[in-house]
Amino acid sequence: MIARETFHDQIAANKWRSVLLLVVLTLLLVVFGAVVGFAWLGSVEGVIIAIPGALALALILSVGTWFGGDAVVLAASRARPATEAEAMTLLDVVRELSIAAAIPMPRTYLIDDSAPNAFATGRDPAHASIAVTTGLLEKLDREALQGVIGHELAHVRNFDIRFSLLVGVLVGSIALLSDAFLRSLRYGAVGGGRRSSSRSSGGGLVVVIYLVAIVLAILAPIFARLVQLAVSRQREYLADATSVELTRNPAGLERALEVIATDPEPLEVANRATQHLYIVNPIKKLDERSGSLFSTHPPLLDRINRLRALTGQPPVDGAGVRRLAGHS
């Protein structure tokens, strides 16, 4: 007998995994900052200075994105406000699901592109926007459209844009700190207090920390990026489950995901800076090797099988697997 999972189970599990990954990133930034601070100054004082400095860097990076990030994304996507005359069904669906989600109705935009897709942006429910392509409205019926809008409103209600901003800032801070440390090696600006420290408290420890700092400077940005991608995938799973909570209909979202992912037309306005926002990755079809660690989205087949599990259906098999494999 097929085990039936509830959307509440999926929501709880994905929230827990997302928070855990965020904690890992924060600890990585703090530890990396402490090691680099010690390597820079050759003393414990460097640690005391570096940890607040690393956190301050993250705060500074977040300010501009916090207040202007959504406007930049909408402009880059060439989105325009949706009107009742051309998108009445879309606006009706957004209204009814906003009520179900208990959030203000977000500003709704259209992107003139025949490829079906959609995204949400905005730092909180009071400052949220969703954008859908004209191709999405043409190629989905109302039931499937509800699944997509439920997914995007789930991102808004779950504060996923804010969460992604925080994760992105941590990753960016780690990358900048790494770059600054590696550049300082070229100019001999590391270890100002190493000689005196070596004489007084054992230079062996200083050398070890210095080497650890170099290794972390190389590997930490890579690891941080992998964690960021893992967080992105978990939030997509969470939005899928929350969409089912809002619509009470896994079938609509399941059909929508398949239509969007298998549509052959490219989304012209998408780029690598915005691909993570869309409900289905608009940039590339992933092979099995890259689908796990280096994708912004979970494998489509896995997303659909999770939706099928909510109604006790068996996983996709046979021709369905061949049709959906490689998409994310």
Closest CA to 146 of 91, 196, 221: 91
Report the C-alpha gap between 32 and 151 in whole angstroms. 36
The domain segmentation of the chain, as residue ranges, is: 7-65+163-231, 72-160+232-324
Q: How confident is the model at residue 292 (pLDDT cuts 50, 70, 90)?
A: low
Residue 106 reports pLDDT greater than 60: yes
pLDDT value, residue 69: 62
Report the C-alpha gap between 218 and 220 in whole angstroms. 6
CB 175 within 8 A of CB 127: no
**Of residues 86 and 21, which shows the higher confidence score?**
86
Report the C-alpha gap between 8 and 157 in whole angstroms. 15
Name the pTM for this structure.
0.79
Residues 203-230, mean pLDDT to the nearest whole number: 84
72-160+232-324, what's its fold?
Answer: Zincin-like (3.30.2010)
pLDDT per residue as tens digits for the range 128-182: 999 999 999 999 999 999 999 999 999 999 888 878 877 877 888 888 888 888 8
Residues 84-109, mean pLDDT to the nearest whole number: 96
Report the C-alpha gap between 59 and 64 in whole angstroms. 10
Residues 220-241, mean pLDDT to the nearest whole number: 89
Report the C-alpha gap between 18 and 20 in whole angstroms. 5
From the candidates 5, 45, 86, 152, give the one annotated as an active-site residue.
Answer: 152
Cβ neighbours, 10 Å, residue 237 = 20
Report the C-alpha gap between 74 and 119 in whole angstroms. 10
E strand or H helix that includes residue 80: strand 79-81
**Phi/psi at 205 (5° precision):** -65, -40
258 catalytic, yes or no? no
Give the chain's mean pLDDT: 82
pLDDT per residue as tens digits for the range 241-261: 999 999 999 999 999 999 999
pLDDT value, residue 184: 81
Cβ neighbours, 10 Å, residue 69 = 18
